Structure 1
Amino acid sequence: MIQEFRLPDLGEGLTDAELVQWLVAEGEAVALNQTLAEVETAKAVVELPSPFAGAVQRLHAAAGDTVAVGAPLITFTLAGEDAPPQAEPAPPAEPEAPAPGARQATLVGYGALDRAGHPQRRARRAAAAEPPPSPPRREGERERPRSSPPVRRLAKTLGVDLATLEVGERPITRADVEAAARPAPAGDPRVTRIPIRGVRKHTAAAMVRSAFTAPHAATFVTIDVTETQRLLDELARDRALQGHRIGILTVVAKAVCLALGRTPVLGSRWDEAATEIVQPSYVNLGVAVATDRGLVVPNVPDADALSLVELADALAEVVTTARAGALTPAQLSGGTFTITNVGVFGVDGGVPILNPGEAGILAVGAVRRQPWEHEGAVALRDVVTLSLSFDHRLADGAEAAGFLMDVAGVLRAPGRAMLLR
């Protein structure tokens, strides 16, 4: 039986995806739930598992192509059956249902259904596991070059087709990709052209949309956070908290959640179509993360319900997942407010652009030890600058200032958090 696999609906209203890399070739035998390809949406890189066991008869797209949801990706010959010698089936209006009794996989993120009809998670391949033997190649067919996920992502960013690189039996390296991306000698050797694709392309479009849709305003405050730093030092020495990374960003996150409870309009969004302000009673706290694929903003759902330790663990998890390029579309959607830690780059402050659809974003600068007025005298104190950008349609200057001073109050005196609700 010939079966066609079309690009599935990846959720979150996405209408297409860019094919990053094929992990199978025409003529190759594949198992149920074997990863077929990596595709990149406006949200994340997603692995597509095979919904069938059989042989790949035809690949309908090439790496770098943008494929619409519902468009053909692969034509299969199901296991135990031979493909017709010449004829290619006409694409059906809808994907065919599997034969009675056949096993079929959920298309994204889950494996086949168990006997009770529940999805089974696909097991992750162990890093040290021996790869399964490759099927014999047809005469004249070239073996696909080996490469790691970071190298594949770099190749996609630079517009390099890995299949064209000649590296012999060894895996492709970053140096191979960077060398292939350099302009040909006929061009200007001082200029490098990098294709605008993937996350960087979507981020740029989102920032332009945000900047020219929401009327941005900003306010700043520089504060003494010596007491917070002392608290963090005490927590770091607490053996019961070993393994939990509780830093200044964690305390800022907690302060933001508390302050949003007092000024909820900073966690709302403007619904132009319905002419309504949508104000949630929860905080899905976004955190801006710089990755090798560009800037992404995953969020921690219901951050306002978490303790300081739970919040530290949740932030560490989303940052680690983001840098590994393993975020799901769900983790990148539904945020209500964002924080960005520009202090890790040695920067004191700035005017961040709103994450599209959100009313506020807070930039946290570097904590610096410097002379500061304290109790009527000048002393060395730990000082930080907070920069708040906000949508002036949703919040006025007084509301934004009140929110910022609530955050600042917690950082000046962490015990103040006991007074906020």
Structure 2
Amino acid sequence: MTATMIKEFRLPDLGEGLTESEILSWKVAVGDTVTLNQVIAEVETAKAVVELPSPFAGTVAALHEQPGTVVEVGKPIVSFEVDDAGISNGNGAPVAGGTSADGGSDDADQASPAKREPNLVGYGAVVEHSGRPARRARSQQQPAGPAAEPVIPQRAEPAAERPRSTPPVRKLARDLGIDLEQVSGTGPGGLITREDVQAFTGTTEAPSAPVSQEGRETRTPIKGVRKFTAAAMVASAFTAPHVTEFLTVDVTATMELLARLKGNKAFEGYKLTPLTIAAKAVLVALRNNPTLNSRWDESSQEIIQFNYVNLGIAAATPRGLTVPNIKDADQLTLRELSTALTELTETARAGKTSPADLSGGTISITNIGVFGIDAGTPILNPGEAAILALGAVRKAPWVVDDQLAVRQVMSLSLSFDHRLVDGEQGSRFLADLGAILGDPAMVMTMI
């Protein structure tokens, strides 16, 4: 006879010690039947928007938090009514024979390794191809806690399909107090766009932003990505001794190369920009200047030099600045790098960057040139030894063979951690980078 019981799902740590997340929306309602790893909610951490998969197969018994609520890691957010087949522990591991999900042993601990289905965000159930959930190592399990008996409301009708939109658009709608159910989408397949929401405000009286009594100030809570970025930048600025060097380069030859590549059939369909070429140049220059691809480990009092490059690209998003990185970028061809940069940018702007893509970077680039800026003093991404700012490409008078000519020039701004990188090392890296961008054929002397 199959037994049923109520199991709680507690909010997991979705990446590198994050302590809280905001519930953006529920994808299920009380009374819905869910399957293992089915997406049940969308939450925003300090780094990214993440979809939560269900660690149980069963029926939604209670939703403990409302959308817009900031919840601490470890707090119950949803309860399920499950039977023996749908029971798993807090990390999504199964419990055989109806054993409590908060502890005990099961046969899966003894199961032989098998090829498994990947889970969605790194904490949920791992499923073998046989269809049976497989238990993770006990050292990775969530701490068990006393199971509170949730108040189970009456079964509600299943929620209607939610209007299609991107996370930034949903946030804009929340900020303006607009119900997306009332907005008609004009994007592909009925997708609701930012313009649709803004147009809707013209026909609807939206509540004003929080202001002071005098109406002379607007206050916005500091949370999410903005809060995380601010804390990280303060920590970096007051931990690592920053040094910034500048170099202005005649990049006419690089821009000519870019124009030729865009007309080459081998690069048809690829998005090529000055950032694409500069990123490849950084990867080449690092081969002769590996100290810039390293990290200061205060706890062990060691300098860790990486033999791979996870290239971070600063991205301005509606939620604030993020720096996702391209894993093993040094192993990519120019076409592969172009694809990776395009995907990284589109994912970041849509607010879908995963916590894994925001961690583990080794060196970063910030492209301030897209805003028409020539130079700056970028702050290091925490844990990295260097960051490069690319300035705008401009036509300017330049001396070529003792003759004045109009050339295309770019300013490079390199900030580095002076604990790790000496002035000579930083200067040589910047000089190599300038040599490549000034004459792309110089790559042949560096590889």
Contact 1:339-1:363 within 8 A present in 2 as well = yes
Aligned to 2:355: 329
- Corresponding residue SS for 1:313: helix
Contact 1:182-1:192 within 8 A present in 2 as well = no
1:177-326 mapped onto 2 (5 Å cutoff): 180=206, 182-183=208-209, 187-326=213-352
Identity score, percent:
51
Partner Cα distance (1:243, 1:101) in 2: 54
Partner Cα distance (1:373, 1:169) in 2: 57
Aligned to 1:5: 9
1:372-383 mapped onto 2 (5 Å cutoff): 372-383=398-409
Aligned to 1:389: 415
Q: CA deviation at 1:114?
A: 4.2
Shift in alpha-carbon separation, 1:367–1:25, aligned structure 2, 3 A: same
Q: CA deviation at 1:111?
A: 7.4
Shift in alpha-carbon separation, 1:183–1:55, aligned structure 2, 3 A: same
For structure 2, the 5+ residue unaligned runs are 100-116, 135-153, 186-191
Contact 1:209-1:356 within 8 A present in 2 as well = yes
Shift in alpha-carbon separation, 1:337–1:95, aligned structure 2, 3 A: closer
- Corresponding residue SS for 1:113: strand
Of 351-360 and 252-261, the range deviating more from structure 2: 252-261
Aligned to 2:127: 113
Partner Cα distance (2:90, 2:355) in 1: 27
Partner Cα distance (1:252, 1:284) in 2: 15
Shift in alpha-carbon separation, 1:52–1:374, aligned structure 2, 3 A: same
Give the counterpart of 2:165 among 118, 133, 148: 148
Aligned to 1:44: 48
Aligned to 1:367: 393
Q: CA deviation at 1:190?
A: 3.9
Aligned to 2:75: 71
Q: CA deviation at 1:272?
A: 0.7
Shift in alpha-carbon separation, 1:335–1:112, aligned structure 2, 3 A: closer
Contact 2:183-2:197 within 8 A present in 1 as well = no
1:169-180 mapped onto 2 (5 Å cutoff): 174-175=197-198, 180=206
Q: CA deviation at 1:152?
A: 2.2
Q: CA deviation at 1:68?
A: 3.5
Partner Cα distance (2:257, 2:265) in 1: 14
Aligned to 2:145: none
Contact 2:173-2:180 within 8 A present in 1 as well = no
Contact 1:6-1:95 within 8 A present in 2 as well = no
Shift in alpha-carbon separation, 1:52–1:306, aligned structure 2, 3 A: same
Q: Deviations over 1:280-307 (max 9, x none)?
A: 1111111111111111111111111222
Partner Cα distance (1:226, 1:169) in 2: 48
Shift in alpha-carbon separation, 1:27–1:415, aligned structure 2, 3 A: same
Q: CA deviation at 1:330?
A: 1.1
Contact 2:30-2:156 within 8 A present in 1 as well = no
- Corresponding residue SS for 1:273: coil
Aligned to 1:20: 24
Partner Cα distance (2:364, 2:379) in 1: 10
Q: CA deviation at 1:322?
A: 1.1
Q: Number of matched residues?
A: 391
Partner Cα distance (2:330, 2:287) in 1: 9
Q: CA deviation at 1:196?
A: 1.4
Shift in alpha-carbon separation, 1:336–1:321, aligned structure 2, 3 A: same
Partner Cα distance (2:8, 2:296) in 1: 42
Partner Cα distance (1:147, 1:245) in 2: 27
Partner Cα distance (2:304, 2:268) in 1: 40
Aligned to 2:140: none
Q: Deviations over 1:152-203 (max 9, x none)?
A: 23356x4x777xx597687896347896552468833343222212111111
- Corresponding residue SS for 1:219: strand
Amino acid of the structure 2 residue aligned with 1:113: V
Q: What's the RMSD between the two structures over aligned residues?
A: 3.5
For structure 1, the 5+ residue unaligned runs are 82-91, 121-135
Partner Cα distance (1:196, 1:179) in 2: 26
Contact 1:20-1:39 within 8 A present in 2 as well = yes
Aligned to 2:139: none
Amino acid of the structure 2 residue aligned with 1:63: P
Q: CA deviation at 1:374?
A: 0.7
Contact 1:137-1:143 within 8 A present in 2 as well = no
Q: Deviations over 1:52-88 (max 9, x none)?
A: 343322222233433343331211123799xxxxxxx
Contact 1:3-1:96 within 8 A present in 2 as well = no
Amino acid of the structure 2 residue aligned with 1:174: V
Amino acid of the structure 1 residue aligned with 2:172: L
Of 141-150 and 368-377, the range deviating more from structure 2: 141-150
Partner Cα distance (2:227, 2:372) in 1: 26
Contact 2:251-2:438 within 8 A present in 1 as well = yes
Aligned to 1:357: 383
Contact 2:292-2:421 within 8 A present in 1 as well = yes
Shift in alpha-carbon separation, 1:94–1:317, aligned structure 2, 3 A: closer
Amino acid of the structure 2 residue aligned with 1:205: A
Shift in alpha-carbon separation, 1:405–1:293, aligned structure 2, 3 A: same
Q: CA deviation at 1:10?
A: 2.7
